[in-house]
Amino acid sequence: MEYFQQSILELIVDTSTNLPPDVRRALARAQLREEMGSRAALALDTIVDNVGTAESDQGPICQDTGMPTFEVHTPVGANQIVMEREIKAAVAEATRLGKLRTNSVDSLTGKNTGDNLGPGTPVIHFHQWERDDVEVKLILKGGGCENKNIQYSLPMEIEGLGKAGRDLDGVRKCILHAVYQAQGQGCSAGVVGVSIGGDRTSGYQHAKEQLFRSLEDENSIPELKELEEYVMDKANQLGIGTMGFGGRVTLLGCKIGVQNRLPASFFVSVAYNCWAFRRQGVHLNATTGKITSWLYKEGSATFANRGGISTDHAVVLKAPISEEQIRKLKVGDVVLIDGTMHTGRDALHKYLMEHESPVDMNGGVLYHCGPVMLEDESGWHVKAAGPTTSSREEPYQADIIEKFGIRAVIGKGGMGPKTLQGLQKQGAVYLNAIGGAAQYYARTVTGVDGVDFLDQFGIPEAMWHLQVKAFPAIVTMDAHGNSLHADIANDSMKKLEAFAAPVYQ
């Protein structure tokens, strides 16, 4: 297995940077369904632009390269100990090369291991099979969509849909609700892998395994094939759209599996994956470890490439931004940020609640982002820099805006009522950037002015001070109490309620 480690490295790099053709085709179909010039179409165009750049520059499609999860099939008797060691070495090397973000954090100390290795990281599942070759499949599923996974224990009452029983109709309600509750926070349009049955642990694992199916295959169980088609139709009528901006396409795929359960339990487990649906696979020669063929590579896709967010009527904001400038903005406006912005995620928000900021943020721009960064002799460079899910900062955000005089917060998925009130009171806006468009936004960074808390928090959580030029985003929460996210959540709940009547008797 001389080439095994190198082959795994190739698999990781390809998975992180090259979206599979079936996912591209699903995005291309979504593009065609959205009205030109709509928010959803602009978001999809940005996504498509980003997918192309990631492939040509071999950069991570999204800065959150997730929990590397390998499914490995080996011939009987193959040495899995050696394979595990080499997979881990390949993960560390891919991290060093900036193809994976440093994503493994000690849960007690908060310390980032820096190489994506540690207890439970990466995830590797070995299986034996009666074949002579080795198959390795990999999925990189980020935290934003992982946080939207959900498990239901039937029977139960589901908001908007009423009673869900221990039958296919109950399962139907769980899946529709799972799509609804994700809104734009898991970077819709998404894909759901669903497991009916199992226990709490095996249900989630089986749900994730469904994500290894092609988006274009057909379920071999007729009832589940029918249910998959039903969900695709109805979930796309919820009006959540790409990034939760509203629109005709909310779901790119639905894959349902079934396993036996205990008589006392009936779990429906849903693994929600964002549009950045990064999974690839290879077959390897079991003697040399060389790649003999790739999975998921059939066919190609043609995008309608219209170049990302239209900035023709955009408002340019440059820190320090005045209250007057902010109060002129309203939901739906496109803005372009020039000049300085500061990144900040969970660790920084908690810190700022109790301490002073190392830099003056008065009139400034705070970006919810955990970038991929590499350092060389000339300094730090941004390799991927899309937004992270903002709702995690809801407990802190309004206080931090007020304490430091921040005028613009950039993230994805929107924030809640406390932040909305804070924006109104202080004269600040929430700007939604396109989740996952990490290469697109990295291109707008013209320099790295410095970093604080790097040793303390690690690369993704550190406070990076970036210079940007024409960084585009859309106002989705303004200083007048308007929130596109609240509007879409209310509207999609009404649409969800229309699916409460039983379909399967």
Contacts of 94 (CB under 8 A, 6+ apart): 9, 12, 13, 16, 100, 116
Instruction: Report the alpha-carbon distance of residue 147 to residue 277 in Å, rounded.
Output: 15
Tell me if 142 contacts ligand SF4 by CB under 6 A.
Answer: yes
Question: Between 375 and 394, how does the x/- string for binding to ligand SF4 read (CB under 6 A)?
Answer: -----------x-x------
Instruction: Report the alpha-carbon distance of residue 287 to residue 281 in Å, rounded.
Output: 18
The DSSP bridge partners found for residue 438 are none
Candidates 136-144, 153-161, 312-320, 326-334 — which segment interacts with ligand SF4 by CB under 6 A?
Answer: 136-144
- Residues 67-126 close enough to bind ligand SF4 by CB under 6 A: none
Shorter beta-carbon distance to ligand SF4: residue 74 or 103: 103
Question: Between 329 and 368, how does the x/- string for binding to ligand SF4 read (CB under 6 A)?
Answer: ----------------------------------------
Give CA torsion, residues 368, 370, 376, 378, to 10 deg. 0
DSSP 195-248: EESS-HHHHHHHHHHHTTS-TT---SSHHHHHHHHHHHHHHTTS---GGGS--S
Least Cβ distance, residue 270 to ligand SF4 (angstroms)? 15
Least Cβ distance, residue 340 to ligand SF4 (angstroms)? 23
- Residues 50-69 close enough to bind ligand SF4 by CB under 6 A: 62, 64, 66
Shorter beta-carbon distance to ligand SF4: residue 249 or 326: 249
- Residues 419-438 close enough to bind ligand SF4 by CB under 6 A: 435-436
Shorter beta-carbon distance to ligand SF4: residue 4 or 296: 296
Helices 484-497 & 168-182 angle (0-180, nearest 10): 170
Decide: helix, strand or coil at residue 15. helix
Kind of pairing, strands 291-295 and 278-284? antiparallel
> Which residue has its beta carbon closest to ligand SF4?
142
Tell me if 186 contacts ligand SF4 by CB under 6 A.
Answer: yes
Q: Exactly one of 98, 144, 257, 472 binds ligand SF4 (CB under 6 A); which one?
A: 144
Least Cβ distance, residue 143 to ligand SF4 (angstroms)? 6
Helix (H) or strand (E) holding 379: strand 379-384
Tell me if 187 contacts ligand SF4 by CB under 6 A.
Answer: yes
Candidates 2-10, 70-78, 142-150, 234-242 — which segment interacts with ligand SF4 by CB under 6 A?
Answer: 142-150
- Residues 145-164 close enough to bind ligand SF4 by CB under 6 A: 145
Least Cβ distance, residue 412 to ligand SF4 (angstroms)? 7
DSSP 98-118: TSS----B-TTT--B-SSS-B
Q: Using an 8 Å Cβ cutoff, are 319 and 339 in contact?
A: yes
Candidates 128-136, 138-146, 246-254, 353-361 — which segment interacts with ligand SF4 by CB under 6 A?
Answer: 138-146
Least Cβ distance, residue 15 to ligand SF4 (angstroms)? 12
The DSSP bridge partners found for residue 408 are 365, 429
Token pair of 269 as six digits: 């487990």
Site residues, ligand SF4 (CB under 6 A): 62, 64, 66, 142-145, 186-187, 274, 276, 386, 388, 435-436
